[in-house]
Amino acid sequence: MSVLSRVRRFISPGDEPAVVVECRQCGTTLEASRDRCPECGSDDVVATVID
C-alpha cells in the first residue's frame, strides 16, 4: 500500500478537512477539539489539517 493511499484513508467524505491532533510529548492522538493531552497532561500538541 502506498503512502498516498494511506493518507487518503484519513480524508473524510464531507467538506470539512480532517484534523489530526497529536501530543508531541508522548505521541498520543487526541480528539481534534482538545489542546491538552489526557495521557501526560502536556499542552504541547500539534494539529495537522489534511485537506
Binding site for Zn ion (CB under 5 A): 23, 25-26, 28, 37, 39-40, 42
Q: In what order do the strands lie in the sheet with 29-30?
A: 29-30, 18-23, 45-50
Q: Work out how close the CB of 29 gets to Zn ion at its nearest, in angstroms, rounded to a whole number.
A: 10
Q: Work out how close the CB of 1 gets to Zn ion at its nearest, in angstroms, rounded to a whole number.
A: 28
CA dist 10 to 16, 18, 27, 31, Å? 12, 7, 18, 14
Q: Work out how close the CB of 13 gets to Zn ion at its nearest, in angstroms, rounded to a whole number.
A: 30
Place of cell 493518507: 7
C-beta of 12 vs 29, nearer to Zn ion: 29
